[in-house]
Amino acid sequence: MTARIAGIGAYVPERIVTNDDLAKVVETNNEWIFSRTGIRERHISTGEGTKDLATEAARRALSAAEVDPKELDLIILGTSSPDCNFPSDACSVQAALGAVNAVAFDISAACAGFIFAMNIVQGFFMAGVYRTALIIGAETLSKVTDWSDRSTCVLFGDGAGAAVLKSCESGGIVDMMMGADGTKGSALSCTSRTFGNFLTKTVPKMGFMSMDGQEVFRFAVRKVPESVEILLKKNRISKQEIKYYVLHQANERIIEAAARRLNEPIEKFPMSIAKYGNTSTASIPLLLNEMQKQRMLSAGDKLMLSGFGAGMTWGAVLLEW
Ligand code: COA
């Protein structure tokens, strides 16, 4: 058995923050941000939490798939910005949807979270454990963004994307892979949290993210083509057969560099980074949702999905739409 995407949904907060808006907060400008990243604007939450964005994206995906929440066996939510340590946001989404028959949990694989969730679902489906799953990538990274750090605050946006996966005999996910390298963890992290301490009466405080941009850039430009090539070779599929490469939307220049390394035309690499920024684990389903809305996808199309992020983590999924 294999996992097929039966419906996609996405949701972003209403408030749009442009590069010019950011230039009023930190020393930056539209020209720098756009030329270095391809980002023009992003959506930022003004109160909605990760679970709220996730629930709305999930509702839209369920409606597109014509699946009742009670039919769900499994809900996996990938996020690096959960609303609380526990309960998991996945459990909150389960409650909000009334998905009473689903087991639910969060996963932490940063921007590769949606790809990791697909891998996990495929494993469960292949083993015959579950038949209907909801996977969600949702972030309100704005709450862990240091708005005085111009090297990171211009990059990220809030949003959520979701997909309903159904077990089927053929088509859907053809193959998948994922990887992790914890030795490079410090390249992109959010570890400056102050933990609470009973003896010193220290109050726990949330930390902010920090990043070595060039290290992450180099890593992504190497890992994306590498994982794509692995899946193509293993499945004896030529690049010509791939209709679109749906890559994590971190930076337009990373996507362009990956296209060059794969020797594929940039037209096969759709992008939505200009209007959403880097929405981390939400970026791949957000992009799939845009492609669906623009009628770019037809049954049988072969797509290569690829994500990478903090950890460092990376992964790819080859699928038939
Ligand atoms: N506006 C204006 N200037 C900025 C700036 C901003 N928002 N952010 C940094 N700068 C400055 C730096 O201070 C530096 O100035 P200096 O030369 O006087 O020291 C200069 O711009 C160059 O900075 P640098 O960090 O070398 O730029 P870069 O070309 O590497 O681009 C990134 C920075 C972050 C855009 C790029 O490294 C990148 O995209 N990395 C990958 C990040 C990523 O995708 N992360 C998420 C992975 S999931």
Closest ligand 1 atom to residue 152 Cα is 34
Q: How far is residue 138 from each of residues 53, 58, 170, measured CA to CA in Å?
A: 7, 10, 29
Rounded to the nearest whole angstrom, what is the distance from the C-alpha of residue 124 to the centroid of ligand 1? 40
Q: Are 134 and 77 in contact (CB under 8 A)?
A: no
Q: Are 289 and 137 in contact (CB under 8 A)?
A: no
Q: Strand 41-43 to strand 188-189: parallel, antiparallel, or no bridges (unpaired)?
A: unpaired
Q: Are 173 and 294 in contact (CB under 8 A)?
A: no
Q: What is the model's pTM?
A: 0.95
pLDDT of residue 89: 98
Q: Which residues neighbour 106 within 8 Å (Cβ) at sequence distance 6 or greater? A: 76, 77, 78, 79, 82, 88, 89, 90
Q: Which residues in the chain come in under a pLDDT of 70?
A: 192-206
Determine whether the shortest distance from the Cβ of 209 to ligand 1 is under 6 A.
no
Among protein residues, the one with the nearest Cα to ligand 1's atom 30 is 214
Measured CA to CA, the distance from residue 80 to residue 286 in angstroms comes to 16
Residue where the block lists tokens 């996990």: 120
Among protein residues, the one with the nearest Cα to ligand 1's atom 1 is 28
Measured CA to CA, the distance from residue 2 to residue 11 in angstroms comes to 27
Determine whether the shortest distance from the Cβ of 249 to ligand 1 is under 6 A.
no
**String of b and e for 89-120 (b: at least 16 CB within 10 Å)?**
bbbbbbebbebeebbbebbebbbbbbbbbbbb
Q: Which residues neighbour 63 within 8 Å (Cβ) at sequence distance 6 or greater? A: 7, 9
Determine whether the shortest distance from the Cβ of 277 to ligand 1 is under 6 A.
no
- What is the sign of the dihedral through the CA atoms of 77, 83, 85 and 88? negative
CA 2 to chain centre: 21
Determine whether the shortest distance from the Cβ of 150 to ligand 1 is under 6 A.
yes
Would you report the helix, strand and coil content of the chain in percent, each value rounded to 5?
A: 40, 25, 35
Among protein residues, the one with the nearest Cα to ligand 1's atom 31 is 36
Measured CA to CA, the distance from residue 167 to residue 164 in angstroms comes to 10
Determine whether the shortest distance from the Cβ of 32 to ligand 1 is under 6 A.
yes
Other beta carbons less than 10 A from residue 131's beta carbon:
17
Q: What angle do CA 9, 15, 19 make, to 5 degrees?
A: 110
Rounded to the nearest whole angstrom, what is the distance from the C-alpha of residue 228 to the centroid of ligand 1? 26
**String of b and e for 215-249 (b: at least 16 CB within 10 Å)?**
ebbebbbebbbbbbeebbeeeebeeeebbbbbbbb
Measured CA to CA, the distance from residue 215 to residue 197 in angstroms comes to 34
Rounded to the nearest whole angstrom, what is the distance from the C-alpha of residue 213 to the centroid of ligand 1? 6
Rounded to the nearest whole angstrom, what is the distance from the C-alpha of residue 141 to the centroid of ligand 1? 18
Closest among 61, 182, 77 to 120, alpha carbons compared: 77
Determine whether the shortest distance from the Cβ of 77 to ligand 1 is under 6 A.
no
Rounded to the nearest whole angstrom, what is the distance from the C-alpha of residue 112 to the centroid of ligand 1? 22
Determine whether the shortest distance from the Cβ of 36 to ligand 1 is under 6 A.
yes
Rounded to the nearest whole angstrom, what is the distance from the C-alpha of residue 253 to the centroid of ligand 1? 12
Q: How far is residue 120 from each of residues 55, 207, 225, 266, 317, measured CA to CA in Å?
A: 20, 29, 22, 30, 11
Catalytic residues: 111, 248, 278
Determine whether the shortest distance from the Cβ of 309 to ligand 1 is under 6 A.
yes
